[in-house]
Amino acid sequence: MSSERPTLPPVRLPSDAELARDALAAPLLARAVRLARWAGPGTRVGAGGELVDEQLPAAAEALGLAPDDDGAAYASEAWRVAVDTGLVAVEDPQDDENGTEEGTVEAGDQLALVTGGTPQDVLALWLDALETAYADATAPLIDDLADHLGDDGELDLDSLDWDPQAEADFLDGVLGNLYLLTVTEGGSGDAPVPLPALAASMIVPDDMGEPTDDVLEQVSDAMMRLDDQFQVLEPIGLVEYQPVDEALMAEEGEEPTPLGDDEDVSRYGLVKLTPLGLYGVRARMLEAGVDAPAVGDLADKGADTLLDGVAHYPAGPARAETHAWLDRREALPAARELLAAAKGSDAGSSLRRLHCQQALSLVGADAEPAVRDVLDDPELGGLARVWLAERGATDVPAPPETMIFWLAIDTIAAQLHAVAGGDSEELQELVEGLTSQHTGFFEAAWRVDHPATPEVLEAMGRLHRDKGAAKEARKAAFKARSRSDA
């Protein structure tokens, strides 16, 4: 059984049906759908599938926009999404009687999915639209292109200071950081992130104290680029974004306005991922091979996978994941499966037993027959007695002394694994509490037949604030180590 930690904490996402509604409400996809329904036999496109210039005013009006340059830009953007997602199908251009090459369009296969598809179909359509928006966001700025046209009017890509892969990697990194900020410790993402902080997370080295002027200039440049990119990504529903205040923008040749101590940071841009954005960024991460779990992923898995999977989840997501797992099962069989999965002597077994006990608390009284069945089990008997005592059972048999000390070692081992071998105040209090309850704790503990006994005693020697007890723990650890090596 694996005890490896996931790369990221689990994200809590709305249902696919809710996400699909959000996807269809995203302004850019909604406009693409409207244009796909508007297009007909008279719609003409160029060789690249783009609407010919003469069609743009009518397309803008179909979107309820003015037939001016802004309306034409919105229409062109939405049409590109319609083509890329298959909402419309483009016929190859043909020479007409005037020698002009123009193509025609018809409804694409994907258009029917908007109203007749499953939520998963709609989300797949939205992900395709996101790819188009992503490509636009990482493209070179239009203002830069005019200086890079050749004599033939074609774009000279080699002359551009633009690396498409580097641009995509940078935006992926920014969205990855934003995702991590949202999901860490079960965060809801309600608080938007200031753009300067997000840009700095990509530029400023972790070990740098005071950023240099050069680094600050890089942060400023990154902010301006992200300001453009988030404005491109907001209409597809990926983010909620408050742009940088235009009054702060530096004119060419001038220094940008610095961020003062008392400055309203919102003027420098605020961004957060929407629930749909969390779904989209996670989908891209999964496609790239990143371990990005979501609450509910384990609901159809076995109890062993559940207990291993939630081992390093924050408390809230672990509880939600366990609830999702239990909701699909009858209480008593689920309790038996959990207890069976909690057995073992591998490195992750102690933490599995801890999470098994927590899961059984969610099952409630229906788990009692399964719990009573393991009272005599050397690995589960202590857990069972604790569970029954917490529910006020008065007929619980007293545990043998070996079980008492085995449970103490197992409990500390679970907490050590939960904090990845680190120290915590809670763990320190657990150690001191257990030793205070049992006279001669260490003399008995080193004899406990548990694979984690040496490790636990060494940790107790490190954590115990009483110097005498700490010394006893270290001696006991040495004896336990010698015993296990014999």
Three-class DSSP labels, 238-273: CEEEECCCHHHCCCCCCCCCCCCCCCCHHHHCEEEE
Tell me which residue has tokens 């406990």.
448
Question: Rounded to whole angstroms, how far apart are CA atoms 194 and 271?
Answer: 7
The model's pLDDT over 378-403, given as tens digits with 9 standing for 90+, comes to 999 999 999 999 999 989 999 999 99
C-alpha closest to that of 11 among 20, 19, 22: 19
pTM above 0.75, yes or no: yes
Classify strands 88-90 and 101-107 as parallel, antiparallel or unpaired: antiparallel
Length of the chain: 486
Q: How many whole angstroms separate alpha carbon 227 and alpha carbon 137? A: 10
Question: Is residue 295 classed as helix, strand or coil in its secondary structure?
Answer: coil
Write down the pLDDT at residue 160. Answer: 66
Contact (CB, 8 A) for 239 and 259: no
11 class by beta-carbon count within 10 Å (0-12 exposed, 13-18 middle, 19+ buried) = buried
**Cα 387 to chain center, whole Å?**
34
Burial class (CB in 10 A: 0-12, 13-18, 19+), 114: buried
Ranges of beta strands (E only) in 58-140 are: 88-90, 94-95, 101-107
pLDDT for position 315: 85
Pick from 216, 217, 244: which is nearest to 229 by CA? Answer: 244
Please report, as a single letter, which amino acid is at residue 61.
E
Per-residue pLDDT of the chain (486 residues; tens, 9 = 90+): 334 555 788 999 999 999 999 999 999 999 999 999 999 888 888 888 899 999 999 999 999 999 999 999 999 999 999 999 999 998 877 665 555 667 788 899 999 999 999 999 999 999 999 999 999 999 876 555 556 666 665 666 666 667 778 889 999 999 999 999 998 855 545 789 999 989 988 888 776 777 778 888 888 888 999 999 999 999 999 999 999 887 776 544 455 555 554 467 788 899 999 999 999 999 999 999 999 999 999 999 999 999 999 988 888 889 999 999 999 999 999 999 999 999 999 989 999 999 999 999 999 899 999 999 999 999 999 999 999 999 999 899 999 999 999 999 999 999 988 877 556 788 888 888 888 887 789 999 999 999 999 999 999 999 999 899 999 999 999 999 988 775
> What local confidence, expressed as pLDDT, does residue 251 receive?
47
Digit-coded pLDDT (tens) for 443-486? 999 999 999 999 999 999 999 998 999 999 999 999 999 887 75
Residue 4 pLDDT: 53
The amino acid that residue 430 corresponds to is L
Written in H, E and C, the secondary structure of 134-191 is HHHHCCCCHHHHHHHECCCCCECHHHCCCCHHHHHHHHHHHHHHHHHHHHHHHCCCCC
According to DSSP, the β-strands at 94-95 and 44-45 are: unpaired
